[in-house]
Amino acid sequence: MLVDLSHVAATTMRDALATVAAPVLFTHSSCRAVTDHPRNVPDDVLAALAGNGGVCMVTFVPQFVSSAALDWDKAVRAEMAAAGLDPRDLEARPAFLDARGGPPCPSATVADVVAHVEHAREVAGIDHIGIGGDFDGTPELPVGLEDVSTYPALFAELLDRGWSEGECAKLA
């Protein structure tokens, strides 16, 4: 059985790591210390992955990797709630945004994703991180990471920041 902790609360992450004998997996989560989204993984949980043998795969969801996108999303959710709409209703959201006007969600970038990848490497170690783009789980993606054909841009940025080819191969 594979235990994926990407959609659970931090308390559940910790409880799972304290309970399981097999490695756990975060298939599409990022680092809470970089972007304070509740779906992102706190540093104590990232650090525990080494002892568990688990892996955290950094996602590309803009609200998970960009604080500006997260703040924009929080404001939209609050406005929807104030208008009597359920902010979790993804079908009502486009019409609400059209009627609302205002600025669009700030774009996330390759650099935003790299910040999470580098933080995860520092805390969990290179053997416990991966890439979990989540291309089918979000309508927007970071500029420069729109699909798997753009992965070379991510690896080029990591190489420019001093990552070795071996470290990039482990991440891949």
* pLDDT tens-digit readout, 64-81: 999 999 999 999 999 999
Query: Residue 153 pLDDT > 90, yes or no?
Result: yes
CA 43 and chain centroid, separation = 14
131 pLDDT more than 90: yes
DSSP codes, 89-143? -TTTHHHHHHHH-SPPPPPPBHHHHHHHHHHHHHHH-GGGEEE---TTS-S---B
Give the rounded percent of residues in the chain with a pLDDT score beyond 90.
Answer: 80
Q: Mean pLDDT of all residues in the chain?
A: 93
SS3 3: strand
pLDDT band, residue 171 (cuts 50/70/90)? very high
Average the pLDDT over 39-59 and give the result: 95
